[in-house]
Structure 1
């Protein structure tokens, strides 16, 4: 990442070839291609998340956290590292890297930010979220920073997320239906699953999956 005053910039040189469709998507995608929940004209709580791609033992993967169950917002949900944009942050890139470091112990200098997706909206918590795309060029050790906020830090292979056997449509008690991923004992749903679902589709990584398979949140059969 480079900075010029209060401006933030991204770097695209030196990315692995498999990230090319993600970079292209970041350059061309429209907000409505990613979600039907778009930010209101005014208001909303500004925040940023780090969508961090790495390369682990099972190939390309994503870094996720599980939020502590004691939190007021999105308790117990797997999510991208991230949080509110503070006044001292230069912008969403700075905020996403800072939050990722606080939550996981990630070394920000090992991350190459190569794109920023359009702002999206989480109505239930009134967050206006900027997803920041990163390449984990130099992986560092990660673990929960504060157990009161983060219960677990884990990496999920992109191949596992694209595996039709791990994909379902999840019905929330509110009645909302959305994509979800049941992988490695984790149920990824909500905003995070929506972004992953759209990236798999837009990047050409999606595989046909049984969209008729619908489960309710909390259904124990989801991991069978």
Structure 2
């Protein structure tokens, strides 16, 4: 699985976007995209390969209670998106940078909230017990890669947002409603993995 994931990062392909399913949506005028990065952290679990996700704290101002990858803005002190993704994973879930084998990056994902997010694909190569960052992360959990790398498990739903109907991918898992940018990036990875054979 690790080798296939690495291969998936080398395939050509366009960037993804929250606008993929909403071509009529218009970004805020004069908006400048801010750089961000997330870590798609995979590992060998008890029942096979899995990916680590977080449930954001319900007390947060932005995206409370949503399912997300560890990640955030690329800070001035970060040496690019890979360093930012690793730093954020350490801060949010206690994942040491040295425990992660970076497999590559996927094309950037533009969000309707004004970010250009680089998905960084990594493999956790050492034992790791998550430590959620109090105040930001409510829960850290794992989802089988077989679930989120199967395109047919994804569906498209919609809701009103800023006065417009917005459509988005969802890939629920048990009690977890994985949707929006997180689901879209997983769908992009699933499509690439299909091409790897």
* Same fold (TM > 0.5): yes
Residue in structure 2 matched with residue 201 of structure 1 by the alignment: 191
CA RMSD after TM alignment: 2.5
Aligned residues: 185
Q: How does 1:43-54 map to 2 (within 5 A)?
A: 43-54=32-43
What is the alpha-carbon distance in structure 2 between the residues aligned to residue 41 and residue 115 of structure 1? 31
The alpha-carbon distance between structure 1 residues 162 and 199, as it changes in their structure 2 partners (threshold 3 A), is closer
Runs of 4+ aligned structure 1 residues displaced above 6 Å come to 38-42
Residue in structure 1 matched with residue 103 of structure 2 by the alignment: 114
Gaps of 5+ in 2: 21-26
How far is the alpha carbon of 1:42 from its aligned partner?
8.0
TM-score normalised over the length of structure 2 = 0.84
What is the alpha-carbon distance in structure 2 between the residues aligned to residue 127 and residue 36 of structure 1? 10
1:89 and 2:72 are equivalent in the alignment: no
What is the alpha-carbon distance in structure 2 between the residues aligned to residue 85 and residue 127 of structure 1? 10
Contact kept, 8 Å, 1:111 with 1:134, in 2: the verdict is yes
Residue in structure 2 matched with residue 143 of structure 1 by the alignment: 131
Find the residue that maps to 2:10 and give its secondary structure. Answer: helix
How far is the alpha carbon of 1:92 from its aligned partner?
0.7
TM-score normalised over the length of structure 1 = 0.74
Residue in structure 2 matched with residue 221 of structure 1 by the alignment: none
The alpha-carbon distance between structure 1 residues 183 and 166, as it changes in their structure 2 partners (threshold 3 A), is farther
Gaps of 5+ in 1: 1-17, 206-224
Q: Which has the bigger relative contact order, CA under 8 A and spacing at least 6?
A: 2
1:27 and 2:10 are equivalent in the alignment: yes
